[in-house]
């Protein structure tokens, strides 16, 4: 019976994981067990961070729109409410971009909505 050398698949899997943990501190980069624990935790934080990023940007957009509305003498909540009543379907990201890059167009939007 011929001899079978083992461990090729396992070694490949270990190398792939250890390659992802490059730059980690101490055993977290070169001991498989520690590296796997750390990588799983890092991936969980990365997933959570992608969700939090959406929340953070939405709040940033709201702050920018609020600041632009205040210069025109309208509160943010009344502005958004009147937009909904006027059936203007522009999301907050576009409204904040408009407030920064196109202040004249934003002013026209505020006056259009203020009439409602």
- Domain segments of the chain as ranges: 8-114
Query: Cα angle at 82 between 77 and 85, to 5 degrees?
Result: 130
Q: What pLDDT, on a 0 to 100 scale, did the predictor assign at position 116?
A: 62
Model confidence, pTM: 0.75
CB 86 within 8 A of CB 112: yes
Domain 8-114 sits in CATH at 1.10.1900.20
96 to 68, 89, 92, 112, 114: CA distances (angstroms): 8, 14, 6, 17, 18
In a structure prediction context, what are the per-residue pLDDT tens digits for the chain, which is 116 residues long?
A: 788 888 888 999 999 999 999 999 999 999 999 999 999 999 999 999 999 999 999 999 999 999 999 999 999 999 999 999 999 899 999 999 999 999 999 999 999 988 76
């Amino acid at each position: 019976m011929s001899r079978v050398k083992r461990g090729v698949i396992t070694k490949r899997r270990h190398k792939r994981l250890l390659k992802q943990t490059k730059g980690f501190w101490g055993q977290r980069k070169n001991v498989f067990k520690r590296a796997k624990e750390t990588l799983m935790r890092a991936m969980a934080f990365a997933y959570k961070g992608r969700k939090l990023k959406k929340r953070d940007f939405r709040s940033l957009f709201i702050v920018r729109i609020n600041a632009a509305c205040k210069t025109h003498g309208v509160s943010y909540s009344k502005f958004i409410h009147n937009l909904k009543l006027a059936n203007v379907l522009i999301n907050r990201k576009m409204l904040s971009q408009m407030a920064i890059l196109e202040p004249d167009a934003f002013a026209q939007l505020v006056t259009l909505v203020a009439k409602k």
